[in-house]
Chain A
Amino acid sequence: MPQNYIPIFLFMLVALAIPVVTLVIAKAVRPDNPHATKLMPYECGIDPVDTARARYTVRFYIVAILFVVFDVETIFLFPWAVQFKMLGWFGFVEMMVFLAILVVGYVWIWKKGALEWV
């Protein structure tokens, strides 16, 4: 059993060695000449105006929440799609009922204005 892991262990060693070796070589070869402008965070060529830790607008959270819910619901569509032929009309009707309930939710958030970016 444990001897089966020897290839994985060797692989990990190699994987660790490569970045270390490249970094060391690069450090030895490249010219080293830091100054203030070079160390500044790059922001489309314009000088940075604010800290990157600023608070996001709450709109992002609402979009994220809606995305999480509607994204995960698709995991019910995959098994149905895989067994589409076998489930036949019954599966189709069931899935339409499921989607209809989702559409009610969709219409609701739409009319509530949660999809608008104000």
Chain B
Amino acid sequence: MQTFAAQFANAHDLMVVMPMVMLTLFACGVLIIDLLLPAGDKRWNAATAALGLLFAGGSLWRVQATLAHQGMLGVSAFNGSVVMDPMAIFFCWLFLIATGITILISVRYMEIEQEDHGEYYALMLFSVVGMMCMASGKDIVLLFIGLELMAISTYVLVGFLRRDKRSNEAALKYLLLGAFSSGIFAYGLSLMYGLSGTTDVTLIGRRLAGLPESSHPILMLAVVTTLAGLFFKIAAVPFHQWAPDAYEGAPTAITGFMSVAGKAAAWALLLRIFAFALRYEQTIWMPMVIAVAVMTLTGGNLAAMTQNNLKRLLAYSSIAHVGYMLLGLVAWNETGIKGILVYLLVYTFMNLGAFAVIVSLRRRDLIGDEIDDIAGLWFKRPVEALLMVIFLLSLGGIPPLAGFYGKYFIFLSLIETGHYVLASLAVFYIAVSLYYYLRIINAMLMRPALDAEPIQPAFGLRLALWVTALATVGIGLFPEIFIRAAAWTMTAPRAVTQAFLR
């Protein structure tokens, strides 16, 4: 009896999940503090949330230091349902950074929208807890809960502008399609559980490999439904319809948050499922991934060309970026996975930066998300216009900016594995993508502004802009450190087959 309890509750387990615990505590704290704050003083909520991120970062650093100190490939806790391996730690850092930048962008923006409630930051922290569970879960129960915690918090955040019809509608569409895809995903998980008799992803992978021929149709169904759910979450064509609507209607800061942190979390989940549970089922999923990757590249890039709404354009461009990352999955070698990780890292900075510029266009009387609204930005705020040019060129993959290295590794992995046709297709779509990025740049630099109203970005927003811009240029000029970080991240998947992480 005693041993059963002792198996769970010890300081070591708590240390491993401390980042999540910290974030939960601070999120609850924000909710309570919000009740005590007078109406005009809501900035303290943002400060509390930021403090929570710092504490979570500190706890994460402790986990990482323990790993490095003991030379381990990961620590697991709670009977192996949570594992903090380098991959999980990499993604957790990424979530924390993305959330920090989003908070900087949000403070003034939510005041202009007159929706600066504490719940906004609390929900953001809760969704980060969910993301961390998705990145570190090794048990399908935890992975599913993490996914839902992230998704449900994000549904509310998307609909946070209660009086705005577009925001409501976006939340509704996101909710319906998100819940639908969660259902499909859960069905796939239930079949995988039924076939393997375990909820541990590593064990699922092994047992699925040893299945008799007769159960292959069910295995097929399990893989297909699980993949459909995952593709929904990363917004790959043909499961992408929710993304443009949700991105356009959501508060702009949340659009940025969803498109980087939410997407990275979905990728963490996807990589975890692929690298562990579906490790030996390549013959089933590879054709699907190739087809979806090609469709995603095509659909995302072509649809982005005709958009006049900046948020919608960036939504389609983000779908196209998912297509590039899927190509890394097609290659399915170390370079490919490294490419996906580097891509997600640089994408965080350049995409959040681009959304920060769009946020700076928001005024009381103007939403500022049409291409016309950004016209003539060069003449009003040359610095912001220049930074936007950097972000857009980086999104397009122009060296020496950060975006180049994401694409570089993807192409390298494709060539290593002999997928020359796919590689040339991807290069072709880079040219297409440059067309729509240059369209925005053209509007900013060549066209006159539609009104003379000055733009005054708040301090937090300017800080966020500089951080993202420095990172975009910095990773481009000194890529070695970041690539090494991504390579370190790879150490765990490489060792998956060796043993259970202990």
Contact of B31 among A88, A91, A94, A104 (CB under 8 A): A104
Q: Kindly state the separation between the CA atoms of A105 and B9 in the bound complex, as whole angstroms.
A: 25
Q: Kindly state the separation between the CA atoms of A47 and B4 in the bound complex, as whole angstroms.
A: 66
Query: B6-33: which have CB < 8 Å to A?
Result: 6, 8-9, 24, 28, 31-32
Supposing A101-B24, A101-B28, A104-B28 touch, asked if A88 and B35 sit within 8 A by C-beta, the answer is no
Complex interface: chain B residues within 8 A of A86 (CB): 1, 4
Task: Assess whether A56 is interfacial by the CB under 8 Å rule.
Answer: no
Task: Assess whether A108 is interfacial by the CB under 8 Å rule.
Answer: yes
Residue of B nearest to A89 (CB): B5
Q: Kindly state the separation between the CA atoms of A90 and B32 in the bound complex, as whole angstroms.
A: 27
Count how many pairs of residues, one from A and one from B, have CB atoms less than 8 Å apart in the complex: 29
A88 to chain B, nearest CB (A): 5
Instruction: Please state if A104 and B5 are interface contacts (CB–CB under 8 Å).
Output: no
Task: Assess whether A111 is interfacial by the CB under 8 Å rule.
Answer: yes
Task: Assess whether A17 is interfacial by the CB under 8 Å rule.
Answer: no
A50 to chain B, nearest CB (A): 29
Task: Assess whether A96 is interfacial by the CB under 8 Å rule.
Answer: no
Instruction: Please state if B28 and A91 are interface contacts (CB–CB under 8 Å).
Output: no
Residue of A nearest to B9 (CB): A90
Task: Assess whether B114 is interfacial by the CB under 8 Å rule.
Answer: no
Residue of B nearest to A83 (CB): B4
Q: Kindly state the separation between the CA atoms of A112 and B28 in the bound complex, as whole angstroms.
A: 15
Contact of A91 among B2, B5, B35 (CB under 8 A): B5
Name the residue among B6, B9, B24 with the largest chain A CB count within 10 angstroms. B9
Residue of A nearest to B8 (CB): A90
B237 to chain A, nearest CB (A): 35
Query: A33-66: which have CB < 8 Å to B?
Result: none
Contact of B2 among A88, A105, A107, A108 (CB under 8 A): A88
Q: Kindly state the separation between the CA atoms of A112 and B118 in the bound complex, as whole angstroms.
A: 12
Task: Assess whether A87 is interfacial by the CB under 8 Å rule.
Answer: yes
Q: Kindly state the separation between the CA atoms of A111 and B118 in the bound complex, as whole angstroms.
A: 13
Instruction: Please state if B32 and A104 are interface contacts (CB–CB under 8 Å).
Output: yes
Instruction: Please state if A111 and B5 are interface contacts (CB–CB under 8 Å).
Output: no
Query: A78-105: which have CB < 8 Å to B?
Result: 85-91, 93-94, 101, 104-105
Size class of A's contact patch?
Answer: 10 to 19
Complex interface: chain A residues within 8 A of B4 (CB): 86-87
Name the residue among A85, A86, A94, A108 with the largest chain B CB count within 10 angstroms. A108
B338 to chain A, nearest CB (A): 38
Q: Kindly state the separation between the CA atoms of A94 and B6 in the bound complex, as whole angstroms.
A: 13
Instruction: Please state if A108 and B31 are interface contacts (CB–CB under 8 Å).
Output: yes
Residue interface bits B27-43, CB-to-A below 8 A is 1, else 0 = 01001100100000000
Instruction: Please state if A107 and B9 are interface contacts (CB–CB under 8 Å).
Output: no
Complex interface: chain B residues within 8 A of A89 (CB): 5
Complex interface: chain A residues within 8 A of B6 (CB): 90
Q: Kindly state the separation between the CA atoms of A87 and B4 in the bound complex, as whole angstroms.
A: 8
Q: Kindly state the separation between the CA atoms of A93 and B9 in the bound complex, as whole angstroms.
A: 10
Instruction: Please state if A88 and B28 are interface contacts (CB–CB under 8 Å).
Output: no
Supposing A90-B9, A101-B24 touch, asked if A108 and B32 sit within 8 A by C-beta, the answer is yes
A44 to chain B, nearest CB (A): 38
Q: Kindly state the separation between the CA atoms of A89 and B4 in the bound complex, as whole angstroms.
A: 12
Q: Kindly state the separation between the CA atoms of A104 and B29 in the bound complex, as whole angstroms.
A: 9
Residue of B nearest to A88 (CB): B5
Residue of A nearest to B2 (CB): A88
Complex interface: chain B residues within 8 A of A101 (CB): 24, 28
Residue of B nearest to A105 (CB): B31
Residue of B nearest to A101 (CB): B28
Subset of 25 A-B contacts with CB under 8 Å: A85-B1, A86-B1, A86-B4, A87-B4, A87-B5, A88-B1, A88-B2, A89-B5, A90-B6, A90-B8, A90-B9, A91-B5, A93-B9, A94-B9, A101-B24, A101-B28, A104-B28, A104-B31, A105-B31, A107-B35, A108-B31, A108-B32, A108-B35, A111-B35, A112-B35
The 4 A-B pairs of least Cβ separation, nearest first, read A90-B5, A104-B28, A111-B35, A90-B9
Q: Other than the known A85-B1, A86-B1, A101-B28, what 11 A-B pairs have Cβ atoms closer than 8 Å?
A: A86-B4, A89-B5, A90-B5, A90-B8, A90-B9, A104-B32, A105-B31, A107-B32, A107-B35, A108-B32, A112-B35
